Amino acid sequence: PRFDIDLLMPAPMMPFIMERLDQAFHVHKLWLAADADALLAEVAPRVRAIAAAGGAAITADLMRRLPRLECVSGFGVGYDSIDAQWAGTHGITVTNTPDVLTEEVADTALALTLMAVRRLPQAERHLRAGRWLEKPFPLTPSLRGRTAGILGLGRIGKAIARRFAACGVPVHYHGRHRQADVDLPYHATPVDLARAVDVLVVVTPGGSETRNLVDPAVLKALGPDGILVNIARGTVVDEQALVAALRDGTILGAGLDVFAQEPAVPQALLDLDNVVLLPHVGSATTHTRQAMGQLVVDNLIAWAEGRPVPTPVPETPIEAG
Ligand code: 8YV
C-alpha cells in the first residue's frame, strides 16, 4: 500500500471503495475474520483510521480501544451511528458524505410525497392484479392546495423545498433556529409547523437529540388530511404512535424510507394500506453511491497526506479543506 497506515473496516463497503483503500492502506476487514475480537485485539494498537459503512456503529467503547486512532471516514451524510462528540473531544477527525447526495435524496422525498398523496403504488397494484378490467382505480387526494412543512431545513431540506416550490406548493419550516437568509415561514416548534401544513417531511439528523421528535402531539396537529414523509432516520418518528395515527385516521397517510430497526419493518406498518414503504433507497443510485464512496476515500487520503479533509463533521475541531 501507498501509506504505512493500518485502517479498520468493521463492515463491508462497495467493492471499488475496498479496492482503493486496499491500494492505500493496510486494511483490516473485521467481518471476514473467523474471530473478530481476536483480530481487533491484535490490530488495535496500530489502527489509525476507520472506514465506516453506513450504519456501522463506531462507539466510544470501540474508539477507546484504538489509542492511535485519528480519523473516522463514514459513508453517508447522517453519522448518528458514529459517536462524533466523543471523537471530537478526543482529537479524532470524523468525516461524512454531504452534498453529493443532496439532490438524489430530495428526489426521493418528492417521489414519496407524490406516491403517498396520489396512492400511486396502490394504483399500480390495482393494474397488475387485473382489477382495472373490472373498475377504475378510485379517485385520490391531491397535492393541489397543499402546504408542505420541512422539519430540518439543511442542505437536503432546502433541495426538497425547491422541488415543492416548482410544484406550486408553499413551504414552511421548523429547525433549531430561524435562518436569517431563508424567506419561508418559520415555526418555533414541530407542533406549530405540523398545524400549519398538511404534508410534513422529516429531514433532521438522527441521534438522541431528535429521538421521537414526531410524537403523538405532532401527528395530531398534522391532522386527518395530513401526510407524513420520512427520509431522515426512523428514530425521529415515534413509530408506534405513527401506526396508531395511520390506523385511526389521526393522519391520512405516510411515505417512509427509513425505520427504527432497519431492515426490520414492523408488521403493523406492512398491514396498513395508507402507508408507502421504501427500503432506505433515498441515495441508492449507482451515480450517487459512487460519489459518496469516492468521498469516503478522498477524506482518508487527504488525512493520510496531512491535508485538510474535504468534509469533516461539525463536531470535528478541524478546518475543512
Ligand atoms: C445511506 C443515508 O443509505 O446518507 C445517509 O445518511 O442514510 C444513506 O445515504 C446510508 O448511509 C448507507 O447505508
Q: Which residues of 153-178 are buried (b: 16+ CB within 10 A; e: fewer)?
A: bbebbbbbbebbeeeebebbbbbeee
Within the chain, what is the greatest distance between any pair of CA atoms? 69
What's the gap in Å between 207 CA and the centre of ligand 1? 14
The pLDDT score that the predictor gives to residue 75 is 98
Query: pLDDT for 256-314, tens place per residue?
Result: 999 999 999 999 999 999 999 999 999 999 999 999 999 999 999 999 999 999 999 99
Q: What is the Å distance from ligand 1's center to 133 Cα?
A: 41
171-174 and 148-151 as β-strands: parallel, antiparallel, unpaired?
parallel
CA of 77 to the centre of ligand 1 (A): 6
Residue type, 273: D
Rounded to two decimals, the pTM is 0.97
28 forms bridges with which residues in the sheet?
8
Spatial neighbors of 200 by CB under 8 A, at least 6 apart, are 148, 149, 151, 193, 194, 214, 218, 222, 226, 227, 228, 229
pLDDT of residue 253: 98
Please tell me if the CB atom of residue 74 comes closer than 6 angstroms to any atom of ligand 1: no
The yes-or-no answer to whether 6-100+287-304 and 102-277 have a common fold is: yes
Predicted local distance difference test score (pLDDT) of residue 229? 99
Q: Which residues, 6 or more positions from 128, have their beta carbon under 8 angstroms from its beta carbon?
A: none
Please list the alpha-helical segments (H only) found in 138-271: 155-166, 190-196, 216-222, 239-247, 267-270
Q: Which residues are catalytic?
A: 233, 262, 280
Q: What is the pLDDT, as a whole number, of residue 193?
A: 99
Handedness of CA 288, 60, 321, 6 (dihedral sign): negative
pLDDT at site 319: 57
Which of 17, 72, 75, 292, when mutated, tests ligand 1's pocket best, judged by the most ligand atoms within 8 Å of its CB?
A: 75
Output the residue whose Cα is nearest ligand 1's atom 4: 76
ipTM: 0.96
Q: Does 27 sit in the ligand 1 pocket, CB within 6 Å?
A: no
Give the count of beta carbons closer than 10 Å to the beta carbon of residue 291.
16
Is residue 58 within 8 Å of 8, Cβ to Cβ?
no
C-alpha 163 – ligand 1 centre gap (Å): 21
Q: Residue with C-alpha cell 454531504?
A: 98
Q: Is 153 a pocket residue for ligand 1 (Cβ < 6 Å)?
A: no
Q: Is the CB of 55 under 6 A from ligand 1?
A: yes
| Closest C-alpha to ligand 1, atom 13 | 54
In whole angstroms, what is the distance from residue 263 CA to residue 258 CA? 9
pLDDT at 318: 64
Query: 77: Cβ below 6 Å to ligand 1?
Result: yes
Q: Give one DSSP letter per residue of 120-163, joined into a string.
A: HHHHHHHHHTTGGGTSPPPP---STT--EEEES-SHHHHHHHHH
- 16-42 confidence digits (pLDDT tens): 999 999 999 999 999 999 999 999 999
CA of 203 to the centre of ligand 1 (A): 13
* Residue partners of 183: CB distance under 8 A and separation at least 6: none
Spell out the domain ranges in the chain: 6-100+287-304, 102-277
Q: Are 299 and 293 within 8 A, CB to CB?
A: no
* pLDDT beneath 70: ranges in the chain: 318-321
Superfamily of structural domain 6-100+287-304:
NAD(P)-binding Rossmann-like Domain (3.40.50.720)
Atom nearest to 74 CA in ligand 1: 11
In angstroms, the Cα distances linking 37 to 10, 13, 42, 174 are 11, 20, 9, 44
Probe ligand 1: pick from 13, 17, 77, max atoms within 8 Å of CB? 77
If phi > 0 it is left, if psi is from -120 to 50 it is alpha, else beta; for residue 254 that is beta
CA pair distance 190, 198, nearest whole angstrom: 13
75 lines ligand 1 (CB under 6 A): yes
What is the reported pLDDT for 317?
A: 80
Is any ligand 1 atom within 6 A of the Cβ of residue 207? no
Q: Which of 47, 43, 53, 74 is nearest to 316 (CA)?
A: 74
CATH entry 3.40.50.720 includes domain 102-277:
yes
